[in-house]
Structure 1
Amino acid sequence: MTTSSSVQATGTVQAPATTKGLAGGPPSGKIAARAKRKASVWAVRMAFIAAILGVWQWLGIRDGGLFVPTFTDTVVALIEQARNGILWPAVWASNQSLLIGFPVSIVLGLLVGFVLGRRRGVDRASSYWLDIALVVPMVALVPVIIVAFGLTLTARVVAVFLFTFPVVALNARAAVRVPSAQLEEMAVSFGASPLQVWRTVILPGAAAPLFTGTRIALSRAISGMIVIELTLIPAGLGGTIIKYTSQFSAPNLYAMTLAVVLEGLILVGLATWLERAVIRRLKGVSRG
């Protein structure tokens, strides 16, 4: 009786474990550890943001809000700008140049970078132009852009393009050199076509550097969008910032600057989410 009872007990204990192993699901301990890590990361982020906002609020209260408004006054001013029809037209006017110039720079930058990265002769002959474009301060080229294109949307698009294109092209050139030559040779030996080599070997290996370069280029595109508006073409968000600066309206000035920061954070966050989704997709393609 004792032996049969122990066998029955053993069977009843081991059966769920066998079923769990066949199911192939992750152990609950790993899920809990992963959730704990995410909670810790978000706790650190929220604590850092709370510290910055707390210092901001304290400085505004200490100085009386003349030069540094409190965070609460800034948020109230931002809400009022949104209600009064000031914020959204300025956002749209600024982002027209971003919506046109950034995709064009991404497409052309990737094409040029891929060619330079895979054709060493072309790289040696022409890559120094990208190095020059990356070194030259783009702010110094803004007056040249204005003289060439005038105070138009085209000038703002060209400025965004010049701020972005060198970063995209240089990162793409470096990214397509990352995959191992042995992996490419093995894929070719198994009968893979050039397109299949790109789809299953080169792009999955280069995805992370490419998206990193895209995020950096996005930040530079936003900078170029605002810089040209602050310097020579007072339009959109930059023009509104100049107006509030001349009026010594600190809450409105900080509110418009906060709008630029929030837009940058949202766009970079979307780019990060897209990066993770595409990399997961490419990894699945490379395994398949």
Structure 2
Amino acid sequence: MNITKPKLIRWIISYVFLIAMTMVTIVPFLWSVSTSLKGQNEAIFSMPPKLIPVNLTFENYMTVWNSLPIPLYMWNSVILSFFGVLLPLIFCSLAAFPLARMNFRGKQLIFIIIIATMMIPGEVTMIPIYLILNKLGLLGGFAGVILPGAVSAFGIFLMRQAFVGIPKELEESAVIDGAGVLRIWASIMFPMVKPMLATLGILSFIGAWNNFLWPYLVIENEKLYPLTIGLYKLKGTFVTNTRLVAAGAMIALLPILVVFVLFQKYFIQGAYSSAVKG
């Protein structure tokens, strides 16, 4: 394999840039892990930063676990994340199916309007959504957190990109066999876009698990707090124990890492197929 000098230089520059970006991204994570494992007498803001603890300890994790009802908060986060993944997968794919596979007047205009809503900051829509939920009597519980995130313009876009790439012949064969629209969507289209479903599922899970501001505004009962709001109690009024905050952050991050490791194969496939079709 012959590699020309300009191509080799481009490769070296690319890898140096990627390594530098990786270091910028991973150093804060490593610092948090290191801080969560340091004892009370060990400096955490030293310069240069010391990422390897001198006296490694899990005392901070035990303190967080014993100080807060972590299992309850995690269970609440699991409930919110479960519906935060399930509903977008169903509703986004249902909305994307006609935009990708059906012909009707105004289809492109509707799609453009849906994509245009992605430019509206989420903070702009918080007050109207809050007022609507208040009128419906859905504030104070899980329903007020779950329903506003049940569908998203980005999810519709992803699923439309996936459905567009499916051969038309499969759909025509199903129509000849007498399959209806919902049957085609559920039995043919849905199973064929597993990589994109995994991509949307992972992104939805991360968003639902890390969601803080909206549950903080909607949920009133402390027993319904998700993990993100529960860990907020670690922040003191005047003094904040950074070691405990770092330990709590690592506890909250662990499920995300597990989900990503389990589904990273489908996530990469979905991202790649979307880039090729786009």
What is the deviation of 1:232? 6.5
- TM-score (structure 1 length as normaliser): 0.59
Structural RMSD (CA): 4.5
The one-letter code matched in structure 1 to 2:101 is R
Q: Which has the larger radius of gyration?
A: 1
The one of 119, 124, 146 equivalent to 1:140 is: 124
What is the deviation of 1:118? 0.9
Q: Does 1:53 align with 2:30?
A: yes
Q: Comparing 129-138 with 199-208, which one deviates more in the overlay?
A: 199-208
Partner of 2:213: 227
SS at match of 1:259: helix
- Structure 2: tracts of 5 or more residues without a match: 1-24, 271-278
Judge conservation of contact 1:176–1:202 (CA < 8 Å) in 2.
Answer: yes
Cα distance in 2, alignment partners of residues 250 and 69 from structure 1? 15
Partner of 1:188: 173
Once the two structures are superposed, residues 82-124 of structure 1 have per-residue CA deviations (whole angstroms, 9 ceiling, x without a partner) of: 3455211222233333233432222111111112211132632
Judge conservation of contact 1:57–1:71 (CA < 8 Å) in 2.
Answer: yes
Once the two structures are superposed, residues 194-241 of structure 1 have per-residue CA deviations (whole angstroms, 9 ceiling, x without a partner) of: 579778975565332333233223323334x33324567583323233
Q: Comparing 246-255 with 62-71, which one deviates more in the overlay?
A: 62-71
The one of 130, 140, 146 equivalent to 1:152 is: 140
Judge conservation of contact 1:113–1:169 (CA < 8 Å) in 2.
Answer: yes
Cα distance in 2, alignment partners of residues 233 and 204 from structure 1? 36
The one of 255, 258, 262 equivalent to 1:266 is: 258
Judge conservation of contact 2:92–2:152 (CA < 8 Å) in 1.
Answer: yes
Q: Using the aligned pairs only, state the percent identity.
A: 13
Query: Residue 126 and residue 220 in structure 1: after superposition, are their counterparts in 2 closer, same or farther (change >3 A)?
Result: same
The one of 239, 248, 263 equivalent to 1:256 is: 248
Partner of 1:218: 205
Aligned length: 225
Partner of 2:21: none
The one of 60, 78, 85 equivalent to 1:95 is: 78
Partner of 1:78: 61
Partner of 2:43: 64
The one of 162, 166, 175 equivalent to 1:179 is: 166
The one of 225, 232, 239 equivalent to 2:229 is: 239
The one of 138, 154, 169 equivalent to 1:167 is: 154
Cα distance in 2, alignment partners of residues 71 and 239 from structure 1? 29
The structure richer in helix per residue is 1
Higher relative contact order (CA 8 A, sep 6+): 2
| 1:5-16 alignment runs, 5 A limit | none
The one-letter code matched in structure 1 to 2:30 is L
Cα distance in 2, alignment partners of residues 125 and 272 from structure 1? 34
Query: Residue 75 and residue 142 in structure 1: after superposition, are their counterparts in 2 closer, same or farther (change >3 A)?
Result: farther
Cα distance in 1, alignment partners of residues 207 and 28 from structure 2? 27
Query: Residue 103 and residue 75 in structure 1: after superposition, are their counterparts in 2 closer, same or farther (change >3 A)?
Result: farther
Once the two structures are superposed, residues 60-84 of structure 1 have per-residue CA deviations (whole angstroms, 9 ceiling, x without a partner) of: 7998237999787785322333345
- Structure 1: tracts of 5 or more residues without a match: 1-47, 280-288
Once the two structures are superposed, residues 152-196 of structure 1 have per-residue CA deviations (whole angstroms, 9 ceiling, x without a partner) of: 1222113433xx532322211111110234x448x739x665579
